[in-house]
Amino acid sequence: MGRRVLVTGLGSFWGGRAAQALERDPSVDVIIGLDTTEPTVELERTEYVRCDESYSILSRIVRATQVDTIVHTFLIVDSSAVSSAQMHETNVIGTMNLFAAASQPESRVRNVVVKSSTLVYGSTHADPTWFTEETRRTALPRHRVERSLIEVEGYVRDYAADNPDVSVSVLRFSNVLGEQIVTPTTRALGLPVVPCVFGFDPRLQFVHESDVVRAVMFVLDHDLDGTYNVAGDGLLPWSEVAALCDKRLFPLPPLGQGVAAALLDRVGVDLPPELLDLLRYGRGVDNSRFKRTGFRYKYTTAGAVDAFARSLRLERAIGSADPEYRYERDVETFFRHSSAVVRGRR
């Protein structure tokens, strides 16, 4: 019997990408996607369910669909996108309810992958150059997105401890770059001048968006258990990242940064506080544990930056780097449900 996979956050970038990758996998029988918004990517056989983060719906879905695998991508790591309350509802309450649903006696769940972030390590002046999965933070979490993800990982740990027969893996992704993904970092690098903090040139680490999807699929294929950092090899100074993107730096004052960020916010440049920390102290995570499982990265940090820079140049030349696919509900329903569609061929 093939896999029955539940993808949370189907409408998000990663949920959609993960569902697309799962569709290409012949061993996956059923893909159910949950989200509060409709998916924005082309999907063939994924069943989309619009739902919120509440427990009653999630437990019914888990029971009714008998899923054996959960891909939990419905975690907000971009604090500029939503309000504090919404982030708490989605990340913490959503995860709590999801795992409550997955631990009910009728649940057939055997595999869980959670897409977390290296934000859980924070970014301070006392940090080591490389964080391993076990390195402790050097300061208490200061930003709500960090706190929220730490709480999420707490629920995941509890679930893993209570259900030793389930493979639970947490993937902590570093900042993602690529041709399509939009994050506060890509927006900052897309500005005519790239913001930096005066007198600081931190070293950052990136992972390419294709490696993110490959990592999720790799974990599912190998039934991996545990926590893994997912990040490209090497660290690049922010000045070099900007130079690779053919951009000049625009220094923000090192003091009174909140004021500067608020002013920039007014003109439409959103620099969330966790990004400002990163632009001061940077962050590196040790990716060797995940590599030892056999995973091979296609891109290093420099490679991810280069790929992003290429898409920036293309975008500058033609206006938009990737003509965005527009989700059309009727068409999608046709492709997913009509018997006229020959499935399993792409």
Where along the sequence are the contacts to other proteins (CB under 8 A)?
125-130, 132, 135, 197-201, 203, 232-237, 239-240, 243-244, 246-248, 254, 281, 284, 286-289, 291-292, 294, 296-300, 302-303, 306-307
DSSP 98-124: HHHHHTSTT----EEEEEEEGGGG---
Least separation, in Å, of the C-beta of 14 and other proteins?
A: 21
Q: Rank residues 42 and 233 by Cβ distance to other proteins and give the closer one.
A: 233
Q: Rank residues 192 and 268 by Cβ distance to other proteins and give the closer one.
A: 192
Least separation, in Å, of the C-beta of 278 and other proteins?
A: 14
CA distance 306 to 240: 11
Least separation, in Å, of the C-beta of 167 and other proteins?
A: 21
Least separation, in Å, of the C-beta of 288 and other proteins?
A: 4
Least separation, in Å, of the C-beta of 295 and other proteins?
A: 9
CA distance 209 to 82: 22
Least separation, in Å, of the C-beta of 189 and other proteins?
A: 14
Q: Rank residues 9 and 232 by Cβ distance to other proteins and give the closer one.
A: 232
Of 297, 295, 133, 163, the C-alpha closest to 222 is 295
CA distance 214 to 211: 5
Enter the tokens of residue 312: 């920036």
Least separation, in Å, of the C-beta of 90 and other proteins?
A: 32
Contact yes or no for 120/287 (Cβ under 8 A): no
Enter the tokens of residue 196: 């930096």
Q: Rank residues 26 and 294 by Cβ distance to other proteins and give the closer one.
A: 294
Enter the tokens of residue 343: 């499935």
233: left (phi over 0), alpha (psi -120 to 50) or beta: beta
Label residue 64 exposed, middle or buried (CB < 10 Å: 0-12, 13-18, 19+).
Answer: exposed
* Dihedral sign, Cα of residue 260, residue 266, residue 270, residue 273: positive
CA distance 130 to 104: 38
Q: Rank residues 154 and 253 by Cβ distance to other proteins and give the closer one.
A: 253
Q: Rank residues 270 and 306 by Cβ distance to other proteins and give the closer one.
A: 306
Q: Rank residues 160 and 197 by Cβ distance to other proteins and give the closer one.
A: 197
